[in-house]
Amino acid sequence: MTKDAFFWPIRVYYEETDAGGVVYHSRYLHFMERARTEWLRQWGFSQERLGRERGLLFAVMKMEIQFLAPARLDDTLTVSVILQEQRLASLTLQQAVYRDQDQRQLIQAVVRIVALDNRFKPTRLPDDLLHALRDPERRTSRP
């Protein structure tokens, strides 16, 4: 785990597992989405407020994911987010999921997020968000 990463804690609940207590593969997408939402929030940007006040939405355009090992019922996990590339209308993020008990990496992913206007057309990211992402000292809180 790198120091430039944002980390978000998750606990695995019964509803996220199959009869054998193993996390459904699709639930990892939820875990990573929550971490990306909180990653944006740490910079002072709420997705709800960006949508309401600026008509800005985000969508996953591309995701490459490797499932390395399973998580199980009651595991505590840490989901990381690292900004890999910043363009005018998109962000590419590296994400990983680790099991806290043994620090084992369970998931490795690269996610490309595109900015959309309220008509679902690609749009430029707001300048204040672009500037915040370039300046790590502008984080509003650290996990």
**Catalytic residue (one of 18, 74, 117, 128):** 18
On whether residue 93 sits in a domain, the answer given is: yes
Residue 7 to residue 11: CA distance in whole angstroms = 13
Give per-residue pLDDT as tens, 80-104. Answer: 999 999 999 999 999 999 999 999 9
Q: How many domains does the chain have?
A: 1
Say whether pLDDT at 143 is over 60: no
> Is 75 a catalytic site residue?
no
On whether residue 30 sits in a domain, the answer given is: yes
Residues 120, 57 contacting (CB under 8 angstroms): yes
Residue 68 to residue 66: CA distance in whole angstroms = 6
On whether residue 139 sits in a domain, the answer given is: no
Average pLDDT over residues 55-74: 97
On whether residue 142 sits in a domain, the answer given is: no
Give per-residue pLDDT as tens, 127-136. Answer: 999 988 887 6
On whether residue 143 sits in a domain, the answer given is: no
Residue 85's domain is classified under what CATH number?
3.10.129.10
Closest CA to 119 of 75, 48, 59, 66: 59
What global pTM score does this model have?
0.90
On whether residue 1 sits in a domain, the answer given is: no
On whether residue 140 sits in a domain, the answer given is: no
Residue 138 to residue 28: CA distance in whole angstroms = 29
| DSSP tag of 136 | G
Domain carrying residue 21 = 6-134
On whether residue 141 sits in a domain, the answer given is: no
